[in-house]
Structure 1
Amino acid sequence: MAVVGGRAAGPTAPAAGPVRAGRLNVDDVLRPTADRRLRRLPRLVTRAVRLAWRAAPRQLLIATGLQLAAGVGLAAQLLVGRQLLTELLDASGESTFASVLPELVVLGVVSALVSFANLARSEQQRLLTELVGRYSAGQVLEVACEVELLAFEHPEFSDRLHRAQLNAQMRPLQVANGLLSIAGGSFALAGIAAALAVLQPLFLVLLLGAYVPAWLASSRAVRVLHDFTVLQTERDRRRGYLFGLLSRRQEAAEIRSFGLAGFLRAQHDTLYDDRISRLRDVVGRRLRIGLAGQVVTSLLTTVAIATLVWMVTSGRVTVAVAGAAASAVVLLGSRLSSLLAGAASLYEASLFLEDFTDFVDALPALSVARATSEPAPECFSELVVDGVRFTYPSRPEPSLRDVSMRLRTGEVVALVGENGSGKTTLAKILAGLYTPDVGTVTWDGVDVAGCKPDRLRDSVAVIFQDFVRFHLTARDNIALGRHERYHDRAGIEAAAQASGADAFLQALPDGYESRLGPEFLGGTDLSVGQWQRVALARAIFRDCPFVILDEPTAALDPRSERALFDGIRRLFADRAVLLISHRFATVRSADRIYVLQDGAIVAHGSHDELMASQGLYAELFEYQASAFVDPS
């Protein structure tokens, strides 16, 4: 008999949700690093080195070795140059071309080796950047694929994912450049400093002190840019979303039909104008900071050069030593500038890289969550939903309230209700994609909330109403239902025949090897109804004991829809099927029908029982049926 307003199964739900073993709290992914001060730079540099080492240890060693060789070569050039000047300025006047030829040869060989080392380092740096970029992108994908589906309902998670994606693409180059610039600058600086210390230690002290203000100013300017980028994240995502609306094929027809291009473009441009306005302020602040640092550095450098001139004119150093020291001063200034630029670049990258590392630091928690989960049952005789309650993080009210139901193997159970009643949310919980806040879902008495999610989902085939249209080959679109059987051509074609997709797929230019969708050259687009049949074939090919069909015929014509529903028991014999539909006439033959209203099950029973109870189901059924009855 029908049950109206009652509980369908199980004991009273607990007042609070149980602790779910083996599940990662989304807060672990959302938690940012609070301390971003300059004193953290050594630790961030260490993380950058570790990132590069994990991605490409061989290239990192080669590039660093080449930087070291170039630094040693610079020191050798300075010392050989001093010896050459000493020979040329010999007071005895006995210097000849033959006497200075050895120094000239050594200087030429060293210069050639330094040039080659720099060239080889540049090429290794290119490869290192690509390898670090691939590794970084892979880390972001690991988290994005492993985190619970509910994380995507958090705007904060979307913001951090957006920044992690951008930084994984852009920052590896900056990290590689910064690391190698610091390494090269440090080695070169060490070599020049050693030579300058031999020539005149005072010059070394003066020049090193001159570049401290430039470093401090550069660090401050980097923080200003990073703060601007973080504050802009949400606005940039909104602008990117509007750009997608105006440029994607999926929305193009409706944008034009409603004349929305100008309106949405104005919103996009307003966000862009706001970004440019804020960026102008940031650029102005960075210029003022940089100018102050450069003015102080220039003054101190001038003092160093004036000291050198005074020491020469007062006879405190020889002209040969002064010439070599002057060359060292120029080279040291150049290398210090390069070192500061590399350090500033790495500091900037490290701040942005921290967004990336904070995001991927969730991976250990994800691994622990997977390791501590219980094995999932491979199938069930009875699935019981008991007192389930669920609330989306972006909504104040729960989407499901005290939901209870039963589903047995061999049954076709229907779930009906008006839009927004919670049907798809319940389907995602039953599919293992969401975990209820309160209540349990059990397979033969086993609470699946504590099971390994991937193993649980391996036993569920689900088609959502917003199914994915993979712009891959027709064979791929079906084989992705069970990729382990990717080469099972007979099984793929059998699934297509069962869903009614075989005929139109065979008729494509390359049959099942034809690429679907207009995204790539040579692709063939399908009608919405044909795409839906392909999605159904994917679910059939998955061959699971539990099948969830969420509006599986929304895009089918009436004859195809009726044929599909008539064949559901044959297609999914000996399986448990949950059928979600807002078309009441198509679920009449279900073994049991549950009616959802405002997130709660208000009635359940067979079609005849629910019609006899004259509740919400009967009201909605008669309302739909009246559209096909002649009022006269």
Structure 2
Amino acid sequence: MNSQGLDILKRKFRSANTIINHLIQTLSLVWAASGYWTLASMVMLLVQGILPAISLTFTRQVVDNLVVVAGNGLSVANVQKILIPVALMAGIMLLGEFFNSSGEWIRTAQSELVNDHITALIHNQSVAVDYGFYEYSEYNDKLNRAREGASGRSLALLESIGSLLKNSVTLLAMATILIPYGLWLPTILIISAFPAFYILMYLSKIQYQWSQRTTTDRRWLMYYDYLLTNSSTAAEVRLFDFANHFQSAYQILRRRLVKEQFHLLKLQTLGRFIAAIIALIITGGALAWMGRQVLLGILTLGDLALFFQVFNQGQGIVKELLSNIGKIYRNSLFIGNLFEFLQIQPTIVDPENPVAVPTKPQKEIRFRQVTFRYPGATEAVLENFNLTIPAGKIVAIVGDNGAGKSTLIKLLCRFYDPDSGRIELDGIDLRNFAVKEFRRLITVLFQSPIPYYTTAGENIALGDITALSNQVEIESAAKASGIHEKIMRLPLGYNTMLGKLFPDGTDLSGGQWQRLALARAFFRRAQIIILDEPTSAMDPWAEYDWLERFRTLAEGRTAVVITHRFTLAMQADIIHVMRAGRIVESGNHDELLALGGLYAQSWKAQMESSSSQKVKNGIA
């Protein structure tokens, strides 16, 4: 055999091995989700597999008895010869119906349990994977493939396995019936279904490859749909008349995908038609041979009736059995996406022997010679970066966009680890702490806070879900952020549902949502406060009102404030100016103004702009 032939064999072996592994993993998953229901399903399928063969044997008995008693009158003996096998056939049919009804009940229970189990696995893994998982297209493709019908694929795979078991039992029983007429008959029965099986396997592989290739395209469809239907995009779509543009993009992509799907369907239909013709020719030949045997008196009419039903049903069962194998193959390919996603290992993990996290920073947070580049990027965002944040102080970090300020937050929260260098808390590398325990030390207000659609009180209490909801503390946090008075004016106060996504919800302005997020951050009572542009959505009056309380709020805690607003930065004990991933100036507000450097120039420009705006407003 040449090297090309060996390569083909190796690929087929790996493919078969992968399918077997996915099959074992799926069975383990289903058993973990619905053990007893799975056992009940297997027992039911075994019984269902035997019943058709038993029913066919009674069919032969009925036909042969009819031939014997035909024309002999309606004597009790003659009637009994017909009624007894007919009654037994009716009993078998009733038993089959009972198992069919029970099967629906079992499958529904099993379906719900498996669906819940897989959803929980995906949710858990979605939280466990690194934050960076969501920042890259290929990772999002993996998540989308895992979520795309994972529960349905698992249940379809389970059902195909169950059907395979049932059909195997039925086929074995029918083959046993056919063997006395000739060993070659069961062989022909199986061979007649192979063309359809081959076509199914071939098309399943093409369908899977198409699905993998178009994952990103289908995510684009979801994105266009989001832009056209989501409340957060509704204003811009209408104002800038984007609707036709995005609808057109959606429809062009959709038409291409539908065209490709119809091409696959055309191949499938043609293949099945050719397979059906081959099966019909083989069946016709077998029936012609059986008719000859009856005409020669070698077999009875009961034998012919039995053979016709066995061969007809058997051929259907073989097709279904091979179809089950094809479905197992196809679903195992797709379910492999789920297992691939579940096998992703996070890199931000706890050390083997975690160091106890300090209850409060005593000395400082320090970046020592930190170099960091985002995965897949060639250029470092930070290189040999050094920064000291004294414990109990307010530290402001200012700088232009792209300077690396937000990257500092991600590193400090351990969403990423440095490529080299260390980030220390009181001299201890952050990588020596348990991740969750360390993060409990931190509260963060991100630049674009999430509007949680729940009550105002619950929104704030989300800041620390491990703490008992204390209305006094909730209101204290709301007052600290300046949102308390607004909440008290809502229809139900702190029990008012926020947002317009659900009935009876009340929406807030951008600045009010930001204040609510600030209240959530303060409710956590963490010792390290990180605020990323905390007043960006506030008007000058609201910002001034909040600044009046800021130092009181941060007293005794370590605060890191990322901001473009110098009115906020000047409240800090220490101000660091960042540019191109480096600290270029440091000091307090007065020191930096006296230095006359980048900070002083930016302060002057911002103040002049503010004064000019006030004059314009006064004239207006």
Q: TM-score, normalised by structure 2?
A: 0.91
Residue 344 of structure 1: how far off its partner (Å): 2.5
Q: Which position in structure 2 is the counterpart of 1:615?
A: 597
Question: Aligned ranges for residues 209-220 of structure 1 at < 5 Å?
Answer: 209-220=191-202
Aligned in 2, Cα 1:324/1:368: closer, same or farther, shift over 3 Å?
farther
Choose 484-493 or 67-76, whichever is displaced more: 484-493
Choose 462-471 or 609-618, whichever is displaced more: 609-618
Q: Which position in structure 2 is the counterpart of 1:297?
A: 279
**Match of residue 84, structure 1, among 44, 62, 71:** 62
Matching of residue 476 in structure 1 with residue 454 in structure 2: no
Question: Aligned ranges for residues 182-261 of structure 1 at < 5 Å?
Answer: 182-198=164-180, 200-261=182-243
Q: Which position in structure 1 is the counterpart of 2:3?
A: none
Deviations 1:563-592 (A, max 9, x none): 322322211221100011001122112111
Question: Aligned ranges for residues 273-288 of structure 1 at < 5 Å?
Answer: 273-288=255-270
SS where residue 538 of structure 2 aligns? coil
Residue 553 of structure 1: how far off its partner (Å): 0.9
Name the structure, 1 or 2, with higher relative contact order (CA <8 Å, separation 6+). Answer: 1
Q: Which position in structure 1 is the counterpart of 2:15?
A: 37
Matching of residue 596 in structure 1 with residue 578 in structure 2: yes
SS where residue 45 of structure 2 aligns? helix
Query: How far apart, CA to CA, are the structure 2 residues paired with 1:53 and 1:367?
Result: 30
Question: Aligned ranges for residues 538-557 of structure 1 at < 5 Å?
Answer: 538-557=520-539
Question: Aligned ranges for residues 46-85 of structure 1 at < 5 Å?
Answer: 46-85=24-63
Matching of residue 380 in structure 1 with residue 358 in structure 2: no
Residue 68 of structure 1: how far off its partner (Å): 1.2
Q: Which amino acid aligns with 2:352?
A: T
Aligned in 2, Cα 1:481/1:630: closer, same or farther, shift over 3 Å?
closer
Query: How far apart, CA to CA, are the structure 2 residues paired with 1:367 and 1:200?
Result: 63
**Match of residue 405, structure 2, among 420, 423, 430:** 423
Aligned in 2, Cα 1:200/1:373: closer, same or farther, shift over 3 Å?
farther
Residue 200 of structure 1: how far off its partner (Å): 4.9
SS where residue 56 of structure 1 aligns? helix
Query: How far apart, CA to CA, are the structure 2 residues paired with 1:168 and 1:321?
Result: 47
Aligned in 2, Cα 1:373/1:594: closer, same or farther, shift over 3 Å?
farther
Q: Which amino acid aligns with 1:86?
A: D
Deviations 1:411-438 (A, max 9, x none): 0000101122111111111122221222
SS where residue 583 of structure 2 aligns? strand
Matching of residue 462 in structure 1 with residue 437 in structure 2: no
Residue 139 of structure 1: how far off its partner (Å): 1.3
Q: Which amino acid aligns with 1:380?
A: P
Q: Which amino acid aligns with 2:542?
A: S
The answer (yes or no) to whether the contact 2:197–2:322 under 8 Å persists in 1 is yes
Q: Which position in structure 2 is the counterpart of 1:434?
A: 416
> How well do the aligned residues superpose, as a CA RMSD in angstroms?
2.4
Matching of residue 319 in structure 1 with residue 297 in structure 2: no
The answer (yes or no) to whether the contact 1:192–1:331 under 8 Å persists in 2 is no
Query: How far apart, CA to CA, are the structure 1 residues paired with 2:14 and 2:245?
Result: 40
Q: Which amino acid aligns with 1:163?
A: R
Residue 98 of structure 1: how far off its partner (Å): 2.0
The answer (yes or no) to whether the contact 1:413–1:578 under 8 Å persists in 2 is yes
Matching of residue 110 in structure 1 with residue 88 in structure 2: no
Q: Which position in structure 1 is the counterpart of 2:8?
A: none
SS where residue 42 of structure 1 aligns? helix
Q: Which amino acid aligns with 1:523?
A: G
Q: Which amino acid aligns with 1:269?
A: Q
Aligned in 2, Cα 1:75/1:293: closer, same or farther, shift over 3 Å?
same
The answer (yes or no) to whether the contact 2:551–2:571 under 8 Å persists in 1 is no
**Match of residue 379, structure 2, among 397, 415, 418:** 397
Matching of residue 332 in structure 1 with residue 314 in structure 2: yes
The answer (yes or no) to whether the contact 1:221–1:290 under 8 Å persists in 2 is no
Q: Which amino acid aligns with 1:268?
A: Y
Query: How far apart, CA to CA, are the structure 1 residues paired with 2:100 and 2:562?
Result: 65
SS where residue 413 of structure 1 aligns? strand
Matching of residue 157 in structure 1 with residue 143 in structure 2: no
Deviations 1:355-403 (A, max 9, x none): 11111123xx459944736245133221111122222235442222332
Residue 39 of structure 1: how far off its partner (Å): 5.8
SS where residue 555 of structure 1 aligns? coil
Q: Which amino acid aligns with 2:29?
A: L
Aligned in 2, Cα 1:432/1:368: closer, same or farther, shift over 3 Å?
closer
The answer (yes or no) to whether the contact 2:196–2:271 under 8 Å persists in 1 is no
Identity of aligned residues (%): 28
Residue 464 of structure 1: how far off its partner (Å): 0.4
Choose 529-538 or 192-201, whichever is displaced more: 192-201
Query: How far apart, CA to CA, are the structure 2 residues paired with 1:377 and 1:559?
Result: 39
Query: How far apart, CA to CA, are the structure 2 residues paired with 1:290 and 1:467?
Result: 55
Residue 625 of structure 1: how far off its partner (Å): 1.1
Aligned in 2, Cα 1:226/1:580: closer, same or farther, shift over 3 Å?
same
Deviations 1:221-264 (A, max 9, x none): 11110100100011111221121111111011111122211122
SS where residue 384 of structure 1 aligns? strand
Residue 69 of structure 1: how far off its partner (Å): 1.4
Query: How far apart, CA to CA, are the structure 2 residues paired with 1:479 and 1:281?
Result: 54
Aligned in 2, Cα 1:200/1:35: closer, same or farther, shift over 3 Å?
closer
Aligned in 2, Cα 1:202/1:318: closer, same or farther, shift over 3 Å?
farther
The answer (yes or no) to whether the contact 1:161–1:359 under 8 Å persists in 2 is yes
Query: How far apart, CA to CA, are the structure 1 residues paired with 2:444 and 2:218?
Result: 34
Q: Which position in structure 1 is the counterpart of 2:389?
A: 407
Residue 38 of structure 1: how far off its partner (Å): 4.8
Aligned in 2, Cα 1:526/1:66: closer, same or farther, shift over 3 Å?
same
Deviations 1:181-218 (A, max 9, x none): 22332232233333333565432221011112211111
Aligned in 2, Cα 1:303/1:374: closer, same or farther, shift over 3 Å?
farther
Structure 2 gaps of 5+ residues are 1-10, 616-620
How many residues are paired up? 598
Matching of residue 351 in structure 1 with residue 352 in structure 2: no
